[in-house]
Structure 1
Amino acid sequence: MFWRKFTQDKMAMTGLWILILIILSILILPLFYQTSIEQIDFSKSTLTPSLQHPFGTNDLGQDQLARALFGGKISLTVGICAMAVSITIGTIIGAIAGYYGGILDNILMRLTDIFLSLPQLPVLLLVVYLFRDAIKTILGAQTGIFVLVILVIGLLNWMSVARLVRSSFLQLKEREFISAAKSLGANSARIILVHILPNVFSVIVVAATLSIGNAIIVESTLSFLGLGFPPDIPTWGRMLYDAQNYLTSAPYMAIFPGLAIFLTVLSINYIGDGLKDALNPK
């Protein structure tokens, strides 16, 4: 029933096929298109798209298609990992607040309100600016920035998940099957993990899909502002940052990575909408 309902949503299916195509291109095309992403050749600077360079070249003569394929892996990985962080934190806080209620619920929801009141982008920029050098020293330039970006995005995007999970727990904990489980001697941990959480799974799945798209946009914003990954790691956002001075002379430098971000996020959002309808028991 779920799959039949999901396949009836044309926009969700279109988004699914576009996302599958993007992922397969990122994973498979580099096996055949083995142009270096680091080779610098100023004689090929800002070449227009051609058969030899389908996405053209940047100001350093580096192939844009190879860099876009490599950057796609990082952007999608950041999106998935940041989603995992935000979904985990939001589910734990929402489950505890919704199930136990009382003072604990009040404290956790006030904490959620505090995080919701924070201006996300300025806080992101501030945290990355303050801690990027320290974490680079500890974990290295690439790994350090990767971990920092994931944690910062995840820690600032769990609030909506917590509210959704809490509201679902508040409704489900009063149902008859929960009373039956309690009368049979089930403890709180078993009730939360076995009886309530599976019934909240649909809400979590929808929130997870939307979180991936949001995380990709935030990472692209950080990279565009020059506070993301180092210049030698070509994420889609970093490619946009490098293209900002060539928008008139070489607009394709911004068009292709921008189109990749647009299609990926749009397809994920359509998939999320389709999942929301398909998993809705009503």
Structure 2
Amino acid sequence: MTGRAWQRFLGHHAAVASVFLLALIAASALAAPLIAAALGHDPFTPDLFKRFEAASPAHPLGTDELGRDLLLRLLYGARVSLAVGLVAALVSAVIGTAVGLTAAWFGGAVDAALMRLADGLIALPSLPLLIVLAAVDPARLGLPRGAMWFDLARIVLIIAVFGWVKVARIARASALSILRRDYARAAVALGASGGRVLWRHVAPNLAAHVTVASTQTVGAVILLESVLSFLGLGIQPPLPSWGNMLASAQELVFAAPMAAVWPGMMIFLTVVATNFIGDGLADALDPRADIVKA
């Protein structure tokens, strides 16, 4: 970003606060093994003698129904939820941008085919389809079952298959508008290749739109992962995610309400923070802002 863009972003106080919040969550998640060593607990090993303990110096947020430390499980769950959200949003953004630019540049039958595919995916009920795809037994496909890396990759792939459509439509609409402008037409008339025109003249002007859509996708992906894990079709225990922590706590709302409050609060704060960051980036990366000031 340019200096003026940074100034506009820093002037968006909610976005700046959201960046610090997500940075704190991410740093704490990365430091989870060190925090676990300092507290002297294993977040994966049950201890039935410590079930439902209240918050204390030994267990800052208390323990769950199996006696595991809630704070440590929240931090390890943050690793999973944030990784799934960021990777799935990035894959969706790359696919969507590529599809949108391809449709805008070639037009005609290519544009029609790609956009009808996008329309078809939009028309499908995504959540039921995600549930059906997530419920497929990987062992029947000759794939490993129970491997943590496979659960993560499967969720990312399933969400990315449906997540690229929004970015593709935004990228296509913006690219069509940009390609009609004089500087883009001049570049084509001077013999610039399609790749150069798209990379030098179209892509920079798509940054604001794609970035905003991608940041909002992060929050949506975290919610989808939480829903799938809540239904038992996402990240499988003992690997914690905020979604399966909520699923484990759904029958303990009255016995141990904080076991459900903490992961729910983390999901809420993360989704709201990503939306604020998206708003801040939209203002910062808007090229019209520099024109207006000039």
Q: Deviation per CA, 1:33-74, whole angstroms, max 9, x where unpaired?
A: 322112211110111222211111111111111111111011
Q: Residues of 1 paired with 2:146 and 2:51: CA distance? A: 30
Which residues in structure 2 correspond to 1:1-282 (within 5 Å)? 1-34=4-37, 35-134=41-140, 137-138=143-144, 141-282=147-288
- Per the normalisation by structure 1, the TM-score is 0.95
User: 1:124–1:153: 8 Å Cα contact kept in structure 2?
Assistant: yes
- Deviation for aligned residue 1:129: 0.8
Residue identity opposite 2:69 in structure 1 = D
User: 1:49–1:55: 8 Å Cα contact kept in structure 2?
Assistant: yes
User: 1:115–1:159: 8 Å Cα contact kept in structure 2?
Assistant: yes
- Deviation for aligned residue 1:274: 1.0
- Deviation for aligned residue 1:134: 4.2
The verdict on how the C-alpha distance between 1:224 and 1:198 changes in structure 2, with shifts beyond 3 A counting, is same
Q: Deviation per CA, 1:92-127, whole angstroms, max 9, x where unpaired?
A: 111111122122111111111100011111000001
The verdict on how the C-alpha distance between 1:41 and 1:136 changes in structure 2, with shifts beyond 3 A counting, is farther
User: 2:212–2:281: 8 Å Cα contact kept in structure 1?
Assistant: yes
- Per the normalisation by structure 2, the TM-score is 0.91
Aligned pairs, how many?
282
Q: Residues of 1 paired with 2:12 and 2:71: CA distance? A: 32
- Deviation for aligned residue 1:222: 0.6
- Deviation for aligned residue 1:176: 1.8
The verdict on how the C-alpha distance between 1:254 and 1:33 changes in structure 2, with shifts beyond 3 A counting, is same
- Deviation for aligned residue 1:136: 7.9
Residue identity opposite 1:195 in structure 2 = H
Residue identity opposite 1:184 in structure 2 = L
- Deviation for aligned residue 1:260: 0.9
When structure 1 is superposed on structure 2, of 68-77 and 191-200 the one drifting more is 191-200
Q: Percent identity?
A: 40
Q: Deviation per CA, 1:163-201, whole angstroms, max 9, x where unpaired?
A: 110011101111222222222222212222232112212
The verdict on how the C-alpha distance between 1:255 and 1:203 changes in structure 2, with shifts beyond 3 A counting, is same
Q: Residues of 2 paired with 1:221 and 1:70: CA distance? A: 18
Residue identity opposite 1:4 in structure 2 = Q
Q: Residues of 2 paired with 1:138 and 1:258: CA distance? A: 30
Residue identity opposite 1:13 in structure 2 = V
Cα RMSD over matched residues?
1.6
User: 2:139–2:145: 8 Å Cα contact kept in structure 1?
Assistant: no
